[in-house]
């Protein structure tokens, strides 16, 4: 088995046993990123020299007896997380020349754990998209089929992990951007409870929805990574001061008697029959593990996409006002006057999808329309949350598909924003409610991976990870590698 086929847990064990050094495995991943993986366009920036330096430091740390479980394990960061002295582009021409003067909290935490950053992964511009096609740096290819999208917006992270260019990566999820690309690339991705992981240094898209989290091949790896990433940070006012459990130690629980809800709205129109077949088979596996299923109703599910596409653009129009060509980022050539500077810098720096969202959001927040759109959307958001709260009176977890279809082809939905927005039918409500959700590989449809989604109550990541881990103990979907990258 080549080093790049190992999971985070296997790499950690090998490093602890001295079977290989961090420098050796870091070199192997860097070679693969530049070799077999180069055509996928999964990375915007590869930080080879820094990675090798960090790997040698991790090896020293291990020799001196001061290593943690993840010391020396490589990972990649989505290019939305600020990294000191390394460009942070957020997938946009606007930040093509931006080097952050500080590290995001998540980046800091991974560094403190001794993890080695291989580089920054490609993403939809400002995390707005479901296909990675809005990136200024071009689309990412799905390693299972290079005609297909990897999902978005954390498409580079998902493709990198699926193609074994990195054992793990960070992602962010505002409406599905960890879970949907994880599903489309056949890996495991966890969107934590809102407030579990600090947003400090994570470039803001929609602040009341954004949440960072881990993407890896297994639930066990996600547990190890979440332990490192999560925790209170006073620099993010929405960070929750609550102890971080040892998630990786909680993967032993039985599922006997676990009550899991199947929302009838997640199995209706719009769900690809092949995806439905895969989810049904997974339900069968869980039944054998002793899970008790109940039909539930999340009656306001159909409001999730419309509410999100008012709230997220509204917040983005405010967050992105700081990119004005003055303080940092892109500035147009020879502006005539101040007005021209603002207009052309923003006009040339942002891509079409970002502009569409800024315009929708500005409109929804304008004095004459605030009540009709923004206030209404917030009321819908509350109804959606109430549905989940009522469901969790009767069930411990909720199960359904992550995405209504497997990966679609590059270009197929690019001209149809509404069709693209419906890719997140089953993920968006979870962000509106602030709940944790995980996507795990459950099979294939037409040769492309299908993801199963589990949704938990607030701060119930331990139970989610345990349920995902048990499934991975009795199935092998998560061990499959795309043919060209096996
Ligand atoms: N696809 C959704 C959007 O375009 C969600 C993106 C995300 O979670 N960052 O907004």
129 CA to middle of ligand 1, Å? 5
Q: In the prediction, which pLDDT does 481 show?
A: 96
User: Which listed residue (177, 317, 345, 403) is catalytic?
Assistant: 177
Token pair for 43: 């990375």
Q: Which DSSP state fits 294? A: E
Cα of 249 to ligand 1 centre, how many Å?
32
Q: What gap in Å lies between CA 253 and CA 415, rounded to an integer?
A: 46
As beta bridge partners, residue 99 has 87
- Could you say which of 6, 78, 120, 141 is catalytic? 78
CA distances from 307 to 125, 142, 352, 384, 433 (A): 21, 30, 21, 10, 12
Residue 431 CA, closest ligand 1 atom number: 8
168 DSSP β-pair partners? 216
Annotated catalytic residue 439: no
- Give the start-to-end residue ranges of the domains of the chain: 8-258+396-485, 302-371
**Confidence at residue 1, expressed as pLDDT on a 0 to 100 scale:** 44
Are 75 and 50 a contacting pair, CB within 8 Å? no
- The closest residue, in CA terms, to atom 5 on ligand 1 is 175
342 C-beta neighbours (distance < 10 Å), count: 15
Can you tell me the distance from the alpha carbon of 181 to that of 170, in angstroms, rounded to the nearest whole number?
12
Choosing among 3.90.1300.10, 3.40.1360.10, 3.60.15.10, 3.30.465.10, the CATH entry for 8-258+396-485 is 3.90.1300.10
Report which ligand 1 atom has the smallest distance to the Cα of 308: 10
Check if 153 is active-site. Answer: yes
CA of 176 to the centre of ligand 1 (A): 6
Quote the ligand 1 centre to 126 CA distance (angstroms): 9
- 64 among known catalytic residues: no
Extract the tokens encoding 79.
């290019």
Q: How far is the CA of 409 from the centre of ligand 1 (A)?
A: 18
* 211 burial via Cβ count (<10 Å: 0-12, 13-18, 19+): buried
Kindly state the DSSP code that residue 69 receives in the 8-state scheme. T
As a whole number of angstroms, the distance between CA 173 and CA 457 comes to 17
What tokens appear for 28 in the block? Answer: 């192997």
The residue whose C-alpha atom lies closest to atom 4 belonging to ligand 1 is: 129
**Closest-CA residue to 211 (of 197, 229, 221, 223):** 197
Q: pLDDT tens for residues 15-73?
A: 999 999 999 999 999 999 999 999 999 999 999 999 999 999 999 999 999 999 999 99
Helix, strand, coil % over all residues of the chain, rounded to 5: 45, 15, 40
Q: Of all atoms in ligand 1, which is nearest to the CA of residue 423?
A: 1
Collect the ranges in the chain with pLDDT lower than 50: 1
Enter the tokens of residue 290: 């002793």
Closest ligand 1 atom, residue 209 Cα: 8
Contact 125, 350 (CB under 8 A): yes
Is 186 strand, coil or helix? Answer: coil
DSSP characters for 83-121? BTTBB--TTSGGGTT-B-SS--HHHHHHHHTT-EEEEEE
Residue partners of 257: CB distance under 8 A and separation at least 6: 290, 292
Give the residues surrounding ligand 1 with Cβ less than 6 Å away.
127-130, 153, 173-177, 205, 312, 424
Cα–ligand 1 centroid distance for 473 (angstroms): 31
The verdict on pTM exceeding 0.85 is yes
Largest CA distance in the chain: 70
How far is the C-alpha of 339 from the C-alpha of 322, rounded, in Å?
15
Is the dihedral angle over the CA atoms 461, 465, 466, 468 positive or is it negative? Answer: positive
Cis peptide upstream of residue 179 (ω within 30 degrees of 0): no
Q: What is the DSSP letter of 455?
A: E
Ligand 1 pocket test, pick from 152, 183, 308 with the greatest ligand atom count within 8 Å of Cβ, gives: 152
**Smallest CA separation from ligand 1 atom 10, residue:** 128
Integer-rounded Cα Rg, in Å, for the chain is 21
User: For residues 139 and 149, is the Cβ–Cβ distance under 8 A?
Assistant: yes
* Nearest ligand 1 atom, CA 428: 5
């Amino acid at each position: 088995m080549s080093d790049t086929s190992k999971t985070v847990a296997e790499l950690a064990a090998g490093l602890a046993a001295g079977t290989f050094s961090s420098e050796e495995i870091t070199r192997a991943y860097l070679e693969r990123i530049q070799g077999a993986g180069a055509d996928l366009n999964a990375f915007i920036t590869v930080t080879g020299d820094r990675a090798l330096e960090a790997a040698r430091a991790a090896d020293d740390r291990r020799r001196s007896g001061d290593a943690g479980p993840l010391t020396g394990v490589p990972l990649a960061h989505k290019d939305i997380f600020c990294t000191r002295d390394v460009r942070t582009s957020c997938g946009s021409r606007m930040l093509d020349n931006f080097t952050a003067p500080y590290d995001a909290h998540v980046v800091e935490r991974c560094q403190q754990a001794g993890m080695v950053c291989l580089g920054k992964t490609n993403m939809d511009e400002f995390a707005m998209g479901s296909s990675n096609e809005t990136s200024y740096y071009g689309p990412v290819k799905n390693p299972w089929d290079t005609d297909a999208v990897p999902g978005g917006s954390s498409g580079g992270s998902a493709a990198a992990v699926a193609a074994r260019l990195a054992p793990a990566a960070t992602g962010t999820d505002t409406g599905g951007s960890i879970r949907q690309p994880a599903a489309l690339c056949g890996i495991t991705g966890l969107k934590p409870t809102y407030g579990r992981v600090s947003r400090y240094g994570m470039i803001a898209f929609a602040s009341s929805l954004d949440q960072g989290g881990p993407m890896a091949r297994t639930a066990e790896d996600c547990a190890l990574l979440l332990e490192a990433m999560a925790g209170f940070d006073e620099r993010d006012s929405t960070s929750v001061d609550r102890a971080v459990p040892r998630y990786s130690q909680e993967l032993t629980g039985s599922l006997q008697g676990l009550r899991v809800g199947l929302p009838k709205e997640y199995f209706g129109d719009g769900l690809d029959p092949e995806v439905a077949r895969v989810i049904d088979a997974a339900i069968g596996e869980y039944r054998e593990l002793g899970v008790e299923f109940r039909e539930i109703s999340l009656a306001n599910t159909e409001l999730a996409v419309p509410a999100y596409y008012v709230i997220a653009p509204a917040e983005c129009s405010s967050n992105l006002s700081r990119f004005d060509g003055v303080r940092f980022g892109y500035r147009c050539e020879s502006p005539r006057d101040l007005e021209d500077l603002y207009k052309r810098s923003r006009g040339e720096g942002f891509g079409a999808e970002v502009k569409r969202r800024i315009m929708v959001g500005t409109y929804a927040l304008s004095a004459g329309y605030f009540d009709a759109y923004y206030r209404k959307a917030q009321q819908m958001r509350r109804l959606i949350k109430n549905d989940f709260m009522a469901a969790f009176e009767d069930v411990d977890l909720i199960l359904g598909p992550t995405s209504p279809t497997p990966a679609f082809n590059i270009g197929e939905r690019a001209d149809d924003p509404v069709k693209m927005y419906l890719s997140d039918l089953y993920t968006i409500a979870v962000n509106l409610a602030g709940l944790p959700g995980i996507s795990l590989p459950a099979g294939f449809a037409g040769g492309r991976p299908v993801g199963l989604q589990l949704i938990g109550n607030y701060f119930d990541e331990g139970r989610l990870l345990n349920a995902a881990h048990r499934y991975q103990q009795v199935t092998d979907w998560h061990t499959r590698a795309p043919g060209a990258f096996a």
